[in-house]
């Protein structure tokens, strides 16, 4: 099997990246692969913390934050794989994710790149898993809110291809940069990401150029992954602004033929939506489990050794009263149908597979808060909102 290169750009999310690397290690079992982390001058000690824990991972350390596109280009140009996966640090892969995506690429020579079904930290489907190109019309419908009013319309919801079911694999236009696996031969022709995009929009632009070469971009609905939306970019005003700047760059680059008045209306819509986003980021509510004095029913799925450490971590969280029940994997699977749905589930990766965690999140839905414990990293991570940064609980 040809070598797979996995490129992860990190910026100040060492605990989420640690959990990601744990899942990657399982996913590449039986696959000839290399893992490269490009650190964009993190100030949280990411490299010093993670390098000893993952000695087989290659770390490239930048002396400044070069942006997502440029850092990814550094990574893939240092790699050797016939296939290259660009992966966000705030993701968790299932054990079968890489085997299934690489299989599709081998079986379909006209497929240039593959994306995958993603859920967020609440178990909800992420619509950016499959997208159409942000044509002036599609972008206008999204920015003005018409796409939200008609989420399954072939016309108004074109940006997220809302008319296509999330559980069906299909050819799409845009693959999300959070999980984007591409043939090296295609990368070499396109020269990778356009570095005019500092962050956001670079995946849309590369997807467009891949399609212009005559290749397909494919969405794989099976083997979903978790993407803790918002954690790797921490959605403050600076990053919201970058997103809308990126959309403007894309439109100017690829839709020059549009009439000036249409482009002007689109720019106005982008500006107005940016203003709304700026205002909304100032009023983001934190998750309900942080309310002091709140009683929380918590199911901990793991072995005794993991449970002991997790309970010690939980006891250090002030103002939160958790009633914890511990289950082994077999106990939970045998009894989960008769159990009342808890407020919170903590998955311990020592005993259960990442595939099963993701399947359980999809089954239970977003009425449960999900937490993930890694013995290797010594922490619990969670993300209850795609509009705010996630949570890390340490011992």
Which tens digits make up the pLDDT trace of 132-145? 987 777 777 777 67
Rounded to an integer, the average pLDDT of 300-320 is 92
Confidence check: pLDDT of 300 > 90: yes
Give the Cα separation of 242 and 245 in Å (integer): 5
- Residue 192 pLDDT: 93
Q: Is the dihedral of CA 172, 178, 179, 184 positive or negative?
A: positive
Give the Cα separation of 97 and 100 in Å (integer): 6
- Structure-token pair, residue 95: 């054990």
Q: How confident is the model at residue 54 (pLDDT cuts 50, 70, 90)?
A: very high
Give the Cα separation of 126 and 130 in Å (integer): 9
Q: How confident is the model at residue 336 (pLDDT cuts 50, 70, 90)?
A: confident
Q: Is the dihedral of CA 86, 5, 77, 215 positive or negative?
A: negative
Class of domain 288-394: alpha beta
Range 4-130+166-227 has CATH code 3.40.50.300: no
Using one digit for the tens of pLDDT, what is the confidence trace for 215-266?
999 999 999 999 997 555 444 555 555 666 666 677 677 666 654 555 566 5
- The share of the chain scoring above pLDDT 70, in percent, equals 82
Per-domain residue ranges for the chain?
Answer: 4-130+166-227, 237-281, 288-394
The answer to pTM > 0.85 is yes
- Yes or no: say if 112 and 208 are a contact pair by the CB < 8 Å rule: no
- Residue 286 pLDDT: 44
| Domains 4-130+166-227 and 288-394 fall in the same CATH topology | no
Rounded to an integer, the average pLDDT of 184-210 is 89
User: Any bridge partners for residue 295, and if so which?
Assistant: 321
| Average of per-residue pLDDT values in the chain | 87
Q: Around Cβ 278, how many Cβ atoms within 10 Å?
A: 14
Query: C-alpha 133: how far from its chain's center?
Result: 19
């Amino acid at each position: 099997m040809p070598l797979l290169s996995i490129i992860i750009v990190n910026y100040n999310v060492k605990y989420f990246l640690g959990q990601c690397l744990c899942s990657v290690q399982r996913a590449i079992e039986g696959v000839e692969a290399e893992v490269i982390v490009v650190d964009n001058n993190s100030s949280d000690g990411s490299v010093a913390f993670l390098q000893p824990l993952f000695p087989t991972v290659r770390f490239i350390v930048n002396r400044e934050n070069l942006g997502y596109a440029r850092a990814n280009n550094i990574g893939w140009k240092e790699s050797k794989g016939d296939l290259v996966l660009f992966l966000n640090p705030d993701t968790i892969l299932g054990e079968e994710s890489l085997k299934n995506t690489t299989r599709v690429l081998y079986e379909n020579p006209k497929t240039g790149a593959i994306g995958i079904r993603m859920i967020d930290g609440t178990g909800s489907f992420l619509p950016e898993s499959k997208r159409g190109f942000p044509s002036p019309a599609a972008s206008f419908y999204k920015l003005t809110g018409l796409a939200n009013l008609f989420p399954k319309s072939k016309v108004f919801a074109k940006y997220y291809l809302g008319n296509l079911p999330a559980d069906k694999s299909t050819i799409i236009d845009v693959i999300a940069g959070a999980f984007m696996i591409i043939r090296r031969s295609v990368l070499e022709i396109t020269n990778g990401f356009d570095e005019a995009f500092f962050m956001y929009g670079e995946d849309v632009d590369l997807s467009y150029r891949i399609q212009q070469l005559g290749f397909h971009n494919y969405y794989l609905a099976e083997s979903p992954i978790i993407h803790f939306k918002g954690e790797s970019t921490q959605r403050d005003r600076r990053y919201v602004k970058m997103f809308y700047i990126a959309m403007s760059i894309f439109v100017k680059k690829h839709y020059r033929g549009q009439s000036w008045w249409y482009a002007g209306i689109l720019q106005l819509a982008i500006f107005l939506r940016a203003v709304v986003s700026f205002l909304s980021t100032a009023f983001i509510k934190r998750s309900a489990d942080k309310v002091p004095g709140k009683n929380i029913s918590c199911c901990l799925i793991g072995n005794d050794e993991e449970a002991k450490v997790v309970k010690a971590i939980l006891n250090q969280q002030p103002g939160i009263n958790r009633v914890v029940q511990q289950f082994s994997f077999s106990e939970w699977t045998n009894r989960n149908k008769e159990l009342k749905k808890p407020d919170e589930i903590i998955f311990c990766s020592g005993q259960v597979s990442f595939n099963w965690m993701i399947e359980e999140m999809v089954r239970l839905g977003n009425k449960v808060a999900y937490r993930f414990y890694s013995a290797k990293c010594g922490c619990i991570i969670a993300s209850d909102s795609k509009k705010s940064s996630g949570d890390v609980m340490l011992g």
